[in-house]
Chain A
Amino acid sequence: MKKALQFTLGILTAIGGMIDIGNLAGNTEAGARFGMGLAWVIAVGLVAIVLYANMAGRVAAISHRAAFDVIRERLGPRVAMVNLGASAALTLLTLVAEVAGVGLVLQLATGLNYRLWIPIVALALWAILWWSKFETMERSYALVGLTLLVLLAAVWALHPDSGDLLHRSVHPAIPHGEDLKSYFYLAIAQFGAMVTPYQVLFFSSGAVEEGWTARDLAVERVNVFIGFPVGAMLAMALMVLGAVVLQPRGITVSHLSQVGLPVTLALGRSGLWLVLVGMFAAVFGAAAEATLSTAYSICQYFGWQWGKFVRRPEAPRFWSLLVFLLFIVTTVALIFDPIKVALFSIVFSAAAVPLTFFPILVVANDPAYVGEKTNGPVTNVLAVILLVLMVIVSLATVPLLVATRGNG
């Protein structure tokens, strides 16, 4: 049983990273507006995240050190500071969206305004981060988050024409009433939602929390090669549901409620409860992941003691930082529209990704950190191609954001 549960870090990382509040809205929105025309972005994003998470996990397992610890040492404090600033700011933005997103899920379940839920969510998040063990937290959210497999069941129940979906995926076209700017804006948002820096930072720090060693490389690979494809499959299911149910009706997605409608159409009230439970676990898991990821990165950069496995008196800065982050995030989440914050955060994620991923590529090729397990030539070629793509995406982000006024 213990062995069977060893893949949960990958599942939690992937569900939290790929099916968070931004994805729930963003993937469904992409399907509702462009049908399957952006499916290729999920495929490219999956290759990128698998490749880089695998590198980060390998570095952590062999060197017993998490991403920022190594990045600072290898690239120096100045470059690492730019890296830290970008990823921490972005992850905080994501965290705001996730905390409010949990409130939105609870609003759908209870009818009570999501703002009333935000302080309660933050308190629950604090309690879980404070008291529960890393493994317990990881396994609970990963396993409960798997109720999102109901998305696949909904796709199945709707009997879409799979040949047509495949054709539309490999022959992307811009539908009437849409334009190329919006297409690329949503492509960037999709990519940013798939390849969030905090996923990789969390995965690498989680590997250290779980005490992985070089002997655990097989577990690490299973986590990467099962966890992330599961996340991508769910992301694709959201897109299909948007394409099959919402697009023909001319519905564009601006609220979480619209994400649930295709599932209820297919599976009724039981589908509704399952999707709400799954959304809650995924978004709450993403919030926990983003909070920890930010605290991990800051502590690793400054060389402070960090980790849930460390007793509180021995890592006072890490534990205080968790509380401080949640306080700031709660305040901001009460003010801004969470769906807008989520969409902005995934777009900016695309812009900041090269800053996080480039150092990982460098370290994964350094025998001082990974011994003989440096990247092979195929991995390096693929990783460089994807990094170039990430740089192009990051340069295009702000102009597209302005050109589409953030509405795609």
Chain B
Amino acid sequence: MELLPTRWLGRRRFAARAGLVTVSLVLLCSGCVLPARSSAAFEGKAVESAKTAAGAVATARLCARQASSGKLTAAFASVTMADAEKDANDAQSSFDSIQPPDHRSDRLRDRLDSILSKAVSALARLRIDARRGHLAQLEHRARALQTIAKRLEQFQQAHS
């Protein structure tokens, strides 16, 4: 005896497939990290992460310069710094969650991870100062980001 008519099974299969496609689309689009299958793909993801972090560092430097010259309010500066820190942090955690496929990728991972950690830490420092309203100090503090920005740029150039 058929428990469910064939057309219902067909519909259920269709619904299941549609659900699977939808879930895959949502996962893909929500920024879920996909595994890197080769060292070239891993290198590509490393460059992407370095680029995101470099953007966050550049945002913080631009913000720090303006805040120190009185062009920004403390609230705006602190939100901007927090956003920059979040971007760099997200770039680092996304990159760290990718499984490196070989030893060469392990070395690449260590190199970038060290720069990203310094970036996140420097950005956190700036965010703390901005929240405390120490806007005049921000430009001086942001000098630490100059070296980090240069290293991120060199990393991108070397691996793209």
- Is residue A110 within 8 Å, beta carbon to beta carbon, of the partner chain? yes
* Residues on B with beta carbons closer than 8 Å to the beta carbon of A250: 51, 54-55, 58, 153
Evaluate whether A111 and B72 lie within 8 angstroms (CB atoms) in the complex, with A177-B51, A252-B55, A261-B66 already known.
no
- Is residue B28 within 8 Å, beta carbon to beta carbon, of the partner chain? yes
Check B70 against A269 for contact (C-beta < 8 Å).
Answer: yes
* Residues on A with beta carbons closer than 8 Å to the beta carbon of B4: none
* Most chain A C-beta atoms within 10 Å of own C-beta, residue among B30, B71, B74: B71
Set A245, A269, A406: member contacting B72, Cβ < 8 A: A269
- Is residue A405 within 8 Å, beta carbon to beta carbon, of the partner chain? yes
* Residues on B with beta carbons closer than 8 Å to the beta carbon of A398: 25
Check A264 against B79 for contact (C-beta < 8 Å).
Answer: no
Q: Mark A46-65, 1 if CB is under 8 A from B, else 0.
A: 00000000000000000000
Check A108 against B79 for contact (C-beta < 8 Å).
Answer: yes
Interface size class of chain A, counting residues whose CB lies under 8 Å from the partner chain: 20 to 34
* Residues on B with beta carbons closer than 8 Å to the beta carbon of A257: 59, 63, 76, 79-80, 83
* Residues on B with beta carbons closer than 8 Å to the beta carbon of A108: 75-76, 79
- Is residue A331 within 8 Å, beta carbon to beta carbon, of the partner chain? no
Check B30 against A406 for contact (C-beta < 8 Å).
Answer: yes
* Residues on B with beta carbons closer than 8 Å to the beta carbon of A264: 66, 71-72, 76
- Is residue A170 within 8 Å, beta carbon to beta carbon, of the partner chain? no
* Residues on B with beta carbons closer than 8 Å to the beta carbon of A379: none
- Is residue B97 within 8 Å, beta carbon to beta carbon, of the partner chain? no
* Residues on B with beta carbons closer than 8 Å to the beta carbon of A258: 59, 80, 83
Mark B residues whose CB is within 8 Å of A.
Answer: 25, 28-31, 51-52, 54-55, 58-59, 61-63, 66, 70-76, 78-80, 83, 87, 131, 153, 156, 160
Mark A residues whose CB is within 8 Å of B.
Answer: 107-111, 177, 245, 249-252, 254-255, 257-258, 260-261, 264-265, 268-269, 272, 340, 344, 398, 401-402, 405-407
